[in-house]
Amino acid sequence: MKPIRLGAVDYLNARPLVYGLEMRNDLFAIRFDVPSKCAALLHEGSIDVGLIPAIEYLRRPFYYVVPDIGIVSDGRVASVALFSTTPVGQIRTIAADISSRTSNVLLQILCYEVFGIDAAFEPMPPDVPAMLRRSDAALVIGDPALFFDHATAGVLKTDLGEQWTALTGLPFVWAFWAGRPEVVPPNGVAELIAARDRGVRASDAIAAIYCGPDRAALGKAYLRENIYYTLGEREQAGLRWYFDLAEKHGIVEVARAPAFYHR
């Protein structure tokens, strides 16, 4: 059997999910990209399974999801944020990280459901100072959001994970492994779950290597306190609510619950 082509996200929060998989080149071949690129590669067939933004599951009718694995927050996420020079209720223009898909839709939902604003979105690379020179606010995800020192820069930071849980009382699912039916056999599912478990146990070491000495403490705290990696009943309930709100506001055509590979 040819190795399953995996597209992983090149952020700190994804590293625990692939921990040790480089030793299983009989099962997997891994490449790293930003979330939007992972989704594009899966859609075009250049990879078999991608760690895709959750909203991208609704862009195709035939994907399956690897069970029990997600990138999830329950409250403050720290790495998905709206940075602004003005109070949220006064925002009229938003520069949106071109790496983002799920967070972009979540922010649109929060604008309607929580903030009460109708802002114009403009895609831009994730450079907060440059984004704020063009717009009232900047939506930034992943490492650029986590490591940006907003206090020193004198800008406000609104945490989107925190806003979601305040609205719904549920976790938010940012991403998960998804691919076409039959492409991940049960032993592949088992190995992805095992990699996740190894990575969670080794999260401090992963953060130290990935972040370097200056940022290691922040990275370790982030992986311990802000992010977790299970996709249980509460997480799936939060995911369905998110999909339903995306449909309600006309962002996607139809919401549907995820179908899962067999274990």
CATH topology of domain 80-168: D-Maltodextrin-Binding Protein; domain 2 (3.40.190)
Do 4-72+173-248 and 80-168 share a fold?
A: yes
Checking if the pLDDT of 147 tops 90, the result is yes
Mean pLDDT for the chain?
A: 96
Q: Which two tokens stand for residue 50?
A: 């991608």
Checking if the pLDDT of 104 tops 80, the result is yes
Share of the chain above pLDDT 70, in %: 100
pLDDT of residue 252: 94
Burial of 154 (0-12, 13-18, 19+ CB in 10 A): exposed
Half-sphere exposure of 224 (CA within 13 A, CB side): 12
Q: What is the enclosing helix (H) or strand (E) of 249?
A: none
Task: Please calculate the CA angle 9-14-18 and round it to the nearest 5 degrees.
Answer: 95
Checking if the pLDDT of 119 tops 80, the result is yes
Look at residues 263, 93, 79, 241 and name the one whose alpha carbon lies nearest to residue 186: 263
Q: For helices 233-248 and 102-110, what crossing angle results, to 10°?
A: 70
One DSSP character per residue, 56-71 reads: GGGGSSS-EE-TT--E
Name the 3-class secondary structure at 202.
coil
CATH topology of domain 4-72+173-248: D-Maltodextrin-Binding Protein; domain 2 (3.40.190)
pLDDT of residue 61: 84
Indicate the domain borders of the chain. 4-72+173-248, 80-168
pLDDT of residue 148: 97
Q: Which residues are CB-neighbours of 103 under 8 A, at least 6 positions away?
A: 53, 80, 97, 139, 141, 160, 174
Q: Kindly report, residue by residue over 36-55, the tens digit of the pLDDT.
A: 899 999 999 999 999 999 99
